[in-house]
Chains A and B, each alone.
Chain A
Amino acid sequence: MRDYWLSKLFFDLQSPPLAEEYRAGRKRVLDRYPLKPEVRAAVESDDVAHLSTLVNPYLLRFYFLMAGMPEEDFLRRIRATAAPVDSSLPNSALRQAAIGSLSGPGPENT
C-alpha cells in the first residue's frame, strides 16, 4: 500500500526548483503536503526503513539522492531493512540466499 501524499511529495521533488527549495528548508515545503504526523516525522528523521514501506522504491531512492544522503548511507540503511536471516536454515549458502547475495556494489565502489 502506498502513502499517496508522501508519494506525491517525492514525485513533485523531481522538479529542480522545488528540490532546491526543499534542500534550503524542508519545513516550508512539507507544510504544503497533508502528511500524517508519523509519516512527516519519518521524513524529518530520514527514516529510510519506515519510508520504504510507504512509497515506490524508485521514488525512495530518488528522494534520498535528491536530499543529499550519501549513497553508502542509503545502501546501508535500505539493506538493513532486509528480513532477518533465519538461523535454522541448513547452511550458510541458503542463509545467504535468503537475504540475496549482496555481491554487487558496496559503498567502496559506488
Chain B
Amino acid sequence: MAELAGVYAASHGPMIVRSWEKLAPAEKESLTSAFSELGKRMRAARPDVLIVISPDHWVNFFIDNLPAICVGVGEVHEGPPEPWLKAFPHRSLAGHPLLAEHIVRTAIEHDFEPSVSYRLALDHGFCIPLWKTGVDPLPPIVPVVFNDLEPPYPSVRRCFDWGTMLAGAVASYPGNLRVAILATGGLSHSIGEPTMGRIDEAFDRDCIRHFERGDPRALIDFLNERLPGAGNGASEIRNWVAAHGAARGRGFELIRYDPIPGVYVGCGFASWNINQRQG
C-alpha cells in the first residue's frame, strides 16, 4: 500500500520570479528562507510521487471548456509555457499514470467527476514552488488542477472533501509508494481587479489561525464568508483546503507568512504533521 509521506502548501506568485531583482532584500530573504525550509521538509519525506494541486492560469483551459477539477494522467507533462520561466530547469516533467488513474477511479467511487488530461502544461503555479524548494531530482508529478480563476468555483467544502478522498486514494493504492501532496497558491491577493495590489493581512492571519485550530467546519464557514472579500487570488486557498482535507484537518504548521507587496501576495508556506494523533 502507498503511504502519505507529507502534505505541504506554498504560495506561487509569478513576480517571485519575474520581478525577483526588484524585490526588497527583506522580501527576498523571506521567500528564500520559506522555500528553503519547505524544500528541506519535502526532501526529508522522500516522496516517490508528488501530487501537486494548483490552478491553471489560462494555459490548458479556456472558457470554452473549463473543468472544476482535472487530474493529469499522462506519462509526461510539459514544462511551463511562460516566457519568463525559461530558466526553469525542466522542459518536461514525468507523470505517474498508475497513481493518477487510481485517484480518478477513487474519485468516481466517491461521487466526484473530475476531468482528465493526458497532456498538461504545468504553469508557474506548479513550477515556481517545485523550482524554488530545490527538490532535485523531482519525483514524478500527478498534477491536480482546481479551477480557482474563473467562476463558478468548486465549493470550499468540496475541496476539503476532495482532499479527504485524495488521502484515501493514496492509502488504497496497491503499490509501495511514498506520496506527498503540495498545494500551491494564495493567500490573499488581487489581480486585474480594482483592489489589485491589496494584501489582506488580517484575513490571512485569521485564515492561518483556522488552519492551526484544525476544525474543518469552522474553516469552511470562515472561508465561505470571507474568501470573496480577500481578492480574486485568494480563491487559491481552496488548494490549501484540499491539503487540509488530505491531512484529515489536523497538524497544520505555519512555516512562514509575510505580506510581500513586491509580489502582490500574502505569501504563506506550511506543512501538516500528518502523524499527529487524532484528538
A→B interface (CB under 8 Å): 2, 4, 7-8, 11, 14, 16, 52, 56-62, 75, 78-83, 99-106, 109-110
Contact = CB atoms under 8 A, between A and B. Distances in A.
B196 interface: yes
B196 A78 contact: yes
A102 B195 contact: yes
B21 to A, nearest CB: 13
B192 A52 contact: yes
Contacts of B59: 14
Nearest to B263: A105
A102 B198 contact: yes
Interface residues of B, number: 28
B94 interface: no
Contact of B193 (A11, A57, A101, A103): A57
Nearest to A62: B58
Contact of A105 (B57, B149, B262): B262
State the main secondary structure of chain B at its contact with A: loop
Interface of B: 19, 22, 57-59, 62-64, 81, 83, 149-150, 190-200, 232, 259, 261-262, 264
Contacts of B19: 110
Given A58-B192, A59-B58, A7 B63 contact: yes
A41 B89 CA distance: 42
A106 B192 contact: no
A80 B198 CA distance: 14
A51 to B, nearest CB: 10
A58 B197 CA distance: 13
Contact of B195 (A58, A100, A106): A100
Nearest to A81: B194
Contact of B81 (A14, A60, A100): A14
A52 B232 CA distance: 14
Most B Cβ at <10 Å: residue of A62, A100, A103, A106: A100
12 contacts: A2-B63, A4-B63, A8-B62, A14-B81, A52-B192, A56-B58, A57-B192, A78-B192, A100-B194, A101-B200, A104-B198, A109-B261
Closest 3 pairs (CB-CB, A-B):
A57-B192, A61-B192, A104-B197
Contacts of A75: 196-197
Contact of A79 (B22, B62, B196): B196
A101 B58 contact: no
A58 B196 contact: no
B192 A60 contact: yes
A11 to B, nearest CB: 5
Nearest to B202: A101
A52 B264 CA distance: 19
A58 B58 contact: yes
A79 B194 contact: yes
Contacts of A83: 194
A105 B264 contact: yes
Nearest to B19: A110
Contacts of A56: 58, 63, 149-150, 192
A105 B193 CA distance: 14
Contacts of B57: 58
A53 B22 CA distance: 31
A96 to B, nearest CB: 11
A52 B191 CA distance: 11
A17 B140 CA distance: 31
Given A57-B232, A102-B195, A102-B198, 4 more contacts: A56-B63, A99-B195, A100-B190, A109-B262
